[in-house]
Amino acid sequence: MKRLDRYVLLSFVKVFIPTLLVSVFTLMMQLLWKYIDYLVGRGIEWYYIVELLFFWSAQVVPMALPIAVLLSSIMTFGGYGEHYELAAMRSAGISLYRIMRPLIILMCFIAVGMYYFSNDLIPVANFKGENLLINISKQKPAFNLMPGVFYDGIEGYAIKIGAKEENSISDVYIYDFTGGDRRRSKVIIAESGEMNLIENDNYLEFKLYNGATYEELTPQARHDRDDGLHVKSEFEQTTLRISMLSLSQGDMNQVNRRKHYRMLNTDQLLVTYDSLSLHFKGRQNDMAEIMSKKYWYSQANVDTSFTTTRGPNFLQDIPVSLRRRAVENALRLARNNRSQYMDQREEFDYRLKYMARHLLEWHKKYAVSIGCLILFFIGAPFGAIIRKGGVGLPFVVSIVLFLVYHVLITIFGKMGEAGDLSAWLAVWLPSIILLPIGITLTVKAARDSSILDAESYLRPIRWLTQLFKARKKKNEESSTPLQ
């Protein structure tokens, strides 16, 4: 490897790795804030949260990698231009294509690695991360008594305390609903007490002092229902044990759902799509057969004492006294059939969208890799043109370019799901649109064209303006009468 290639690779990698890590962390934090309610206050061990974040980090790589490639290429070549390194290389007879060659080879390896990462690792990470999130969300909130607030996280109980200092509590109210009827509750009130977790935190023990227990009685007679019969028993000291097994964690790695399209590789996506297509065609044929049989007047709905034949004038074969009833029955059947048809159409639309998502996901596994290459050929020459390194202007430009790329992916992806575009076109159209831009920027940068010179873009407009002014002046002179 030549010294120039080593220098270019090191310059790019030094920017690329931190940029990729920051992009992954930023996108991962967005997912964390989105699901923060499922994670906070449930007493989940810290290593489960770290495991979930690890799975999420793999999930956001397809979006973080294009950002890192674009920003790193702009910063690297922008830094070369800003410090006149690019001018020195060019003056030594080294073309821009030769400078980009080691990075092009590196980007090819990154693109291939990204495909295998998307195809083999991301589906597994999505599957395990989704199941882990479901298991975490099923856990009940962790036990935490706050003074002045009723806590109902323990099944069958509602607990409120007035003050708390370590294990000592005061002004205790405990509502016991373990009998199954919240209207016939048992209430324990105490002035003070102690609270401890015992037997490996499986039980919560209350030692209560100077209180009373109120328990409502089920009325035996009708006139006793409004009397509010209850039993009161006072105590100086009592002990209450509550099971905490309802708050214990289960198996966080338990499988809760089947795989969907984001949890499949390319081979599994094609097999699943073929299976869905066959099932969809079968449903279509069954529906067509059912509807074709329903849309025909049934003589049994009116009378069987006469016969009718198919044709435009079959209503004339029905007696006049029965025609009204026949029309009403036909309208009722038509409305029922229309309602069934609308319900079936919604089902078919959902099935088509679900099938389209499989094809879109299949194409995305390839399109992400190609998109990284295209964004590199946009970022590297653009950085050489603007000749600005650092995090200022390159960061702003890269974010704008990536937003354009992401918006195109989102818009065409929605059109592909809706069936307005074919799956391959919906996925590849953003790359098709950006590819000519990348080629143009690379050629312009290699030729040192003034692509950002405003004068070169205003010159044709000024020429047209002068042309119109000259024609207008000529017309005015020709229309002026001779003296």
For residues 85 and 102, what is the distance between their CA atoms, to the nearest angstrom? Answer: 17
Residue 166, phi then psi, degrees to nearest 5: 55, -115
Please give the Cα distance from 243 to 317 (Å, whole number): 78
The predicted structure's pLDDT at residue 179: 66
Cα–Cα distance measured from residue 61 to residue 399, given in angstroms and rounded to the nearest whole number: 16
Which residues are within 8 A (CB) of 72 and not within 5 positions of it... i.e. 6 or more apart? Answer: 12, 15, 16, 19, 379
CA dist 378 and 385 (Å) reads 11
Structural contact between residues 326 and 306, judged by C-beta atoms closer than 8 angstroms: no
Q: What is the pLDDT of residue 300?
A: 47
* Residue 354 pLDDT: 87
* Whole-angstrom distance, CA of residue 350 vs CA of residue 63: 27
On whether the CB atoms of residues 104 and 412 are closer than 8 A, the answer is no
Answer yes or no: are the C-beta atoms of 162 and 170 closer than 8 Å: yes
Q: Which helix (H) or strand (E) is 454 found in, with range? A: helix 454-479
What backbone torsions phi and psi does residue 186 show, to the nearest 5 degrees? -115, 125
What is the Cα–Cα distance from 286 to 128, expressed in whole angstroms?
37
Closest by alpha carbon to 97, among 191, 8, 203? 8
Q: Which residue has the tokens 């294990």?
A: 167
Residue 384's nearest CA partner among 16, 73, 12 is: 73
Q: Sort residue 187 into left (φ over 0), alpha (ψ -120 to 50) or beta.
A: beta
Token representation of residue 134: 């479901």
pLDDT of residue 17: 92
Contact (CB, 8 A) for 229 and 221? no
Residue 299 has a pLDDT of 47
Answer for the pair 163, 173: CB distance below 8 angstroms, yes or no: no
- The Cα 17–Cα 131 span in angstroms is 30
Identify whether the C-beta of residue 195 lies closer than 8 Å to the C-beta of residue 167. yes
- Whether pTM exceeds 0.75: no
> 42 near 142, Cβ under 8 Å?
yes
Query: What is the C-alpha to C-alpha distance for residues 342 and 334, in angstroms, rounded to an integer?
Result: 12
Angstrom distance (rounded) from CA 293 to CA 281: 19
> What pLDDT, on a 0 to 100 scale, did the predictor assign at position 107?
92
Burial 363-379 (b: 16+ CB within 10 A, else e): bbbbbbbbbbbbbbbbb
Between CA 461 and CA 351 the distance in angstroms is: 52
Using only the alpha carbons of the chain, give its radius of gyration. 37
Inter-CA distances, 268 with 120, 123, 257, 264, 274, Å: 11, 11, 17, 6, 10
What length is written for the chain? 483
Indicate the residue type of 247. L
- Count of CB atoms situated within 10 Å of the CB of 361: 23
Nearest C-alpha neighbor of 443 from the set 451, 452, 454, 453? 451
Identity (one letter) of the amino acid at 233? Answer: S
Q: What is the dihedral of CA 116, 122, 125, 131, to 10 degrees?
A: -140
Q: Which residue has the tokens 């391959």?
A: 424
How far is Cα 109 from Cα 178, in angstroms, rounded to an integer? 63
pLDDT along the chain (483 residues), means of 10: 84 91 88 73 72 86 90 88 84 85 92 91 87 70 72 78 84 80 73 82 82 75 59 85 64 56 86 88 82 58 54 69 78 80 82 88 91 90 80 78 88 87 90 89 78 56 79 71 51
Q: Which two tokens stand for residue 290?
A: 């059912």
Quote the strand ranges of 100-185, DSSP E.
157-160, 163-165, 168-176
